Amino acid sequence: MEYQENSRITLTKQGLHLISQGQGPDIVMLHGWGMNSAVFTPLQPTFSQYRVHYVDLPGFGHSTSIEGNIDAWVDAIIDAIPDNSIWLGWSLGGLVASRAALRYPNKIKALVTVASSPYFMAQETLANNPPWPGMAPQVLEQFHHSLSLNLSRTISQFLAIQAMGSQNAKRDIKQLKALLSARPEPKSHALTQGLNMLARTDLRREIAHINQPWLRIWGRLDGLVPYSIHSLMPQKASITDVVMPKASHAPFISHTEHFVETIHLWLNQQYTRDKHTHLI
């Protein structure tokens, strides 16, 4: 990740590493499992009118590991970020951001989740509810097993799954690998923590209580988080769903321009609404 002139690097008391860039309203960006915040480098020039905080999740990139469950991660990030920020989370980062919006509704202005789910595991019909789309349990079990054998290879396999379905899968994988190489490899313990969060965290009932403006971006070709999940999610006036028809699990990599246009259009709508409210 290239550092701009107005960049500020912070390492919190808990060892959380973040880079803050730009000037304006605050946006927090959280990456996915096995990644680090350098994956958002292609987006940097397009958010100069905001102050964006690129966070390495605990145990990833330059951040040290933090013991505990997803709430421990949320608390560590909340302590490092200005109140009234917009939180954008990709995949696992979206799960963390959603949990933060539930735990700290007065500190988070709005929420953006990208290729994320309130529950990542596939589930058969239960108590007359429709089947829940997601990852097969054996896939996550395989990742757990592979981590103990070869960490680097496991992450490479995960990158391949993320790009699966993309029309430019090889190019996407190559770009992600290049971006990730700018930071240290994730700690094995943090990878295990993250897998456990994906397997065990279930926010399906709770997300109905998210009242902040919420933009949900889906890749129609996503092999990890099926876009059909959006039809099973809560719907209300404060929620916007956008399905990118040719995108897979990393739309900000494969379709950067479309992704940025979608984000900016939604952000402009939020601030226009705010100005109108203040005038009333």
- Report the catalytic residues: 91, 222, 249
Tell me the three-class secondary structure of 105-121, residue by residue.
CCCEEEEEEECCCCCCE
Task: Let me know: does 247 contact 255? Beta carbons within 8 Å.
Answer: yes
CA distances from 196 to 44, 119, 210 (A): 31, 12, 23
Q: Which has the closest alpha carbon to 259: 40, 32, 20?
A: 40
Please state the separation of Cα 157 from the chain's center in Å. Answer: 19
Segment holding 217, helix H or strand E: strand 214-219
Distance CA 138, CA 267 (A): 38
Instruction: Write phi, then psi, for 273 (nearest 5 degrees).
Output: -65, -40
Instruction: Tokens 């992704």: give the residue.
Output: 259
Dist. CA 264–CA 258, nearest whole Å? 10
What is the identity of the amino acid at 249?
H
For residue 73, the tally of other CB atoms under 10 A from its CB is 29
Helix ranges, the chain (H): 70-80, 92-103, 137-147, 151-163, 169-180, 188-200, 251-254, 256-279
**Cα–Cα dist 137/68, whole Å:** 22
Helices first, then strands: H and E counts in the chain: 8, 8
Q: Which of 208, 219, 217, 202 is nearest to 120 (CA)?
A: 202
